[in-house]
Structure 1
């Protein structure tokens, strides 16, 4: 597997390393030695609860639908040919055939980039210097009325598109922008993923069936965060992280593995936590990169997001340990924000204790 620095430390609040550009040519800055030194010294997750300042507030427990449709793109299961020696992540259990899926004849296979059904050895993690390019983000002004909220989220998706489209293109993976729905309440929308899948309809979520991010007004905790845009942007970036997982093929491999393990088994719930914590790390990568790019994501928005990541099973309303502890949600987000390296967000290769 690709070299991996280990579980994320509780990243210190203060000066951050400059985010990095993903290029096919392998040019770019290697992750700062300090990060690896911290990992080697800690050997595991460091509590970051103190960074929250004792606040009991939390960002809505963002979710990913439990519906796993056939990908829009033709996919192939492969093993990375870069810095990889072995893989134990792909299950060998034979699953019953799904009657709703049909294989695409070779003669009809679409041209262009295709997703790769793999988790830990996905092409996203093939090189240690892969990360998001620093691109200025232009956000619409935040206000709490529905029209302003939708404009804000649409502008945020534009910023996320600019960064992630280049990253996916650099590793020959497909890209398309997600759709967005901002209803006053989820009951106003019809979704093929039900009311939020594993999150039982109490939070924002991404539905891969129709490639849509749902951000209902009654699920983004306006009463908690008021006119501070940082937490809302981090929630959007988390859901967009699930979109990236879907485009890359991580979602397909995850769905197959969880199906085999049993969705609510101990192994199945651990897979769900790996999925969610990876999306947390991707969210941090975006905020960290955007905050040094000279656009709308200034230090205030970044700091608001930094101090708003105590989501997770601690606040879950579905009774399942499928998102990870608040401490791990904090640590993975902050790790992504301070490293901006895809490999550093590869939760699939981390020890079980680091995704509990």
Structure 2
């Protein structure tokens, strides 16, 4: 399809920016999809039984030490991170299940003589560090605070982009400037919803094979496209995976891909990624329900990408109507584009429609794929 045809409708400007005060409790108009949910309730702390303080003889003490050591190993196994590896075309990551750090116990013993009993006292060491102050993410999908109010959207902030060119240095400067624009919009949005913000890191390697990350290496996990890794908070834009041979010197598609990966960063900051990882683990990553969850995740990032391009295009900065036009006509990817044999990204039609929906609505609630019927995320 040639660039500039058909012309997209004008983007919708947001209502006044959200206030800095915490939003009211979100009451969905209809229930989230059934059968899914976090394995543990927010604030859950695994129960740790206290060890007895009785005195025992040396031989029994040795046995007890072995038993305690075995118990600690079992406790570590039970409280360790549950990891979910997701292989897809725009979001390749590892989802650790966060939990409160358990207190540890140090055992001291003193032996007086061969005829005396060995006494053991257990000293409980309490962590002295306090939880970080400020906003915290909420492990939730459809009822996340990001969707708490109907007027939550991105402000129309002018974006100043570095000039695009197809060499690595120019591309890196372009993507860095794009992240600066995305930061300016999304930081205000997250602050208004009382959610945390930090800027993502950026890596622009020459090839995907150079992308050794906590989320996979050399394309074994990442498929064939750029990706976001929440484990190290980094967006990867390999030069051999951004389709330079297709888009050439048209910057719109590259910016929309960056905004899609940044959308996954927003999901991670809000706590959507954590809830999604738990739900998909419970459902089974490759089950019908698990793949539908993946499509909801990807299509939401598509919608967030459209929100950014639509808002920036009416702000008077570098994202002019031509760049917006290019991005508008470059969204028909989806599962066929991913080429991984799984229906985990959604059809080309839905990738296009969700991106365009975000671009013309510019409202977080309009991008809430988690409460949409299955027919809209197929």
Q: What TM-score results when the alignment is normalised by the length of structure 2? A: 0.73
The 3-state SS of whatever aligns with 1:209 is coil
**Contact between 2:8 and 2:328, CA under 8 Å: does it hold in 1?**
no
User: Can you give the 5+ residue segments of structure 2 that lack an aligned partner in the other structure?
Assistant: 1-5, 41-76, 82-97, 102-126
Among 14, 18, 36, the residue aligned to 1:91: 36
Would the alpha carbon gap of residues 163 and 198 (structure 1) be closer, same or farther in structure 2, given more than 3 Å must change?
farther
What's 2:290 paired with?
268
What's 1:326 paired with?
348
**Contact between 1:196 and 1:203, CA under 8 Å: does it hold in 2?**
no
- CA-based RMSD of the aligned residues comes to 2.4
Q: How does 1:108-147 map to 2 (within 5 A)?
A: 108-147=130-169
Q: Deviations over 1:5-41 (max 9, x none)?
A: xxxxxxx954425321463349xxxxxxxxxxxxxxx
Q: How does 1:47-66 map to 2 (within 5 A)?
A: none
**Contact between 2:335 and 2:345, CA under 8 Å: does it hold in 1?**
yes
Give 1 or 2 for the bigger CA radius of gyration. 2
Among 79, 82, 89, the residue aligned to 2:26: 82
Q: What TM-score results when the alignment is normalised by the length of structure 1? A: 0.77
Would the alpha carbon gap of residues 144 and 294 (structure 1) be closer, same or farther in structure 2, given more than 3 Å must change?
same
What's 1:151 paired with?
173
Question: RCO (CA 8 Å, sep 6+): is it higher in 1 or 2?
Answer: 1
Q: Deviations over 1:242-279 (max 9, x none)?
A: 00000000000000000000000000000000000000
**Contact between 1:144 and 1:222, CA under 8 Å: does it hold in 2?**
yes
The 3-state SS of whatever aligns with 2:212 is coil
Q: 1:201: how far off?
A: 2.9
Distance in 1 separating the partners of 2:38 and 2:187: 34
Distance in 1 separating the partners of 2:265 and 2:24: 21
Q: 1:145: how far off?
A: 0.4
Q: Deviations over 1:35-82 (max 9, x none)?
A: xxxxxxxxxxxxxxxxxxxxxxxxxxxxxxxxxxxxxxxxxxxx9723
What's 2:61 paired with?
none
Structure 1 position 299 matched with structure 2 position 299: no
Would the alpha carbon gap of residues 306 and 255 (structure 1) be closer, same or farther in structure 2, given more than 3 Å must change?
same
Would the alpha carbon gap of residues 339 and 82 (structure 1) be closer, same or farther in structure 2, given more than 3 Å must change?
same
What's 1:20 paired with?
14
Distance in 2 separating the partners of 1:85 and 1:225: 41
**Contact between 2:18 and 2:189, CA under 8 Å: does it hold in 1?**
no
Q: 1:230: how far off?
A: 0.2
Q: 1:117: how far off?
A: 0.4
Would the alpha carbon gap of residues 117 and 147 (structure 1) be closer, same or farther in structure 2, given more than 3 Å must change?
same
Distance in 2 separating the partners of 1:229 and 1:85: 39
Q: 1:317: how far off?
A: 1.5
Distance in 2 separating the partners of 1:248 and 1:144: 33
User: Can you give the 5+ residue segments of structure 1 that lack an aligned partner in the other structure?
Assistant: 1-11, 27-78
Larger fraction in strand: 2
